[in-house]
Amino acid sequence: MFGLLEGAGFTQVRSTVVPGFGFRKESTRDAAEAYGVKAVLFTAQKPAT
């Protein structure tokens, strides 16, 4: 996502992992862990000119 934002022309791209995110069901939680699934907060700006 970070790369997609920069590639589209956004600047000041920032990301922070969302603490506390997780899946309720154990099977989904295990699969998510295996794939390194995280929730992330992204911020970015479109250039002013």
Partner 1 sequence: MTDVAPLLADEQAPLEGVIKGEVLRMYQEVAEYPEREFHFYHGRQAAEMFGYEPEWLDRAPPGAVASFAGVGNPHLRSRLQAGEVVLDLGSGAGLDSIIAGWQVGPTGRVIGVDLNPTMCRKAEAHAAASGMRMACHEGRMEDIPLPDVSVDVVISNGVINLSFRKRTVIRELFRVLKPGGRLSITDIVSAKQLSQSIVNDPKLWAS
CA pair distance 17, 36, nearest whole angstrom: 12
Say which DSSP state 14 is in: E
- Confirm or reject binding of residue 42 to partner 1 (CB under 8 A): yes
> Does 37 interact with partner 1 (rule: CB under 8 A)?
yes
CB of 33 to partner 1, least distance (A): 10
**Least distance from C-beta 11 to partner 1, angstroms?**
10
Q: Give least dist CB 43 to partner 1, A.
A: 5
Closest CA to 17 of 42, 46, 36: 42
3-state SS class at 46: coil
| Binding of partner 1 by 30 (CB under 8 A) | no
